[in-house]
Amino acid sequence: MGQISENYISEAESALLHTYNRYHVVLDKGEDVYLYDIEGKKYLDFVAGIAVFALGYSNEEYKNTIKKQADKILHTSNYYYNVPAISAAKRLKKLSGLDRVFFTNSGAEAVEGAIKTARKYAYLKDGKTDHEIIAMNHSFHGRTMGALSVTGNSHYREAFGPGIGNIKFADYNDFDSVMAQVTDKTCAIIMETVQGEGGLTPATEDFLKKVRKLCDERDMLLILDEIQCGMGRTGYNFAFQKYGIKPDVMTCAKALGCGVPIGAFVMTEKVGQNSLVAGDHGTTYGGNPFACAAADKVLEIFERDDIAGHVKEIAPYMWEKLDELEKKHPSIIEHRGAGLMQGLVFNGPVAPIINKALENGLILINAGSDILRFVPPLIIEKKHVDEMISILDKCIED
Q: Exposure of 280 by Cβ count < 10 A (0-12 exposed, 13-18 middle, 19+ buried)?
A: exposed
CA distances from 295 to 104, 287, 288 (A): 12, 10, 11
Report the residue count for the chain.
Answer: 398
List the domain boundaries for the chain. 3-59+306-397, 73-304
Helix axes 307-328, 382-397, angle to 10 degrees: 30
pLDDT for res 398:
87
pLDDT tens sequence across 345-395: 999 999 999 999 999 999 999 998 999 999 999 999 999 999 999 999 999
pLDDT for res 2:
79
Q: C-alpha angle 10/371/173, rounded to 5°?
A: 130
Cβ neighbours of residue 319 under 8 Å, at least 6 residues apart? 335, 337, 342
Rounded CA-CA distance 99/115 in Å is 18
3-state secondary structure (DSSP) of residue 123:
helix
Q: Exposure of 292 by Cβ count < 10 A (0-12 exposed, 13-18 middle, 19+ buried)?
A: buried
Task: Tell me yes or no: is domain 73-304 CATH 3.40.640.10.
Answer: yes
Inter-residue contact 141 to 132 (CB < 8 Å): no
Rounded CA-CA distance 125/41 in Å is 59
Among candidate residues 110, 171, 172, the one with its CA nearest the CA of residue 144: 110
Low-confidence ranges of the chain (pLDDT < 70): 1
Q: Give me the chain's average pLDDT, please.
A: 97
pLDDT tens sequence across 184-235: 999 999 999 999 999 999 999 999 999 999 999 999 999 999 999 999 999 9
Strands 27-31 vs 34-37: parallel, antiparallel or unpaired: antiparallel
pLDDT for res 91:
98
Rounded CA-CA distance 376/333 in Å is 22
Cα(first)–Cα(last) distance of the chain, in Å?
20
Cβ neighbours of residue 383 under 8 Å, at least 6 residues apart? none
Rounded CA-CA distance 376/374 in Å is 6
pLDDT for res 4:
83
Identical fold, 3-59+306-397 and 73-304: no
pLDDT for res 146:
97
In this prediction the pTM is: 0.97
pLDDT for res 79:
95
Inter-residue contact 209 to 173 (CB < 8 Å): no
Q: Is the dihedral of CA 360, 19, 27, 296 positive or negative?
A: positive
Question: Which amino acid is present at 157?
Answer: R
Q: Which CATH superfamily is domain 3-59+306-397 in?
A: Aspartate Aminotransferase, domain 1 (3.90.1150.10)
pLDDT for res 188:
98
Helix ranges (DSSP H) in the chain: 3-15, 48-51, 60-72, 83-96, 107-126, 145-149, 154-157, 175-181, 205-218, 269-273, 289-304, 307-328, 351-359, 382-397
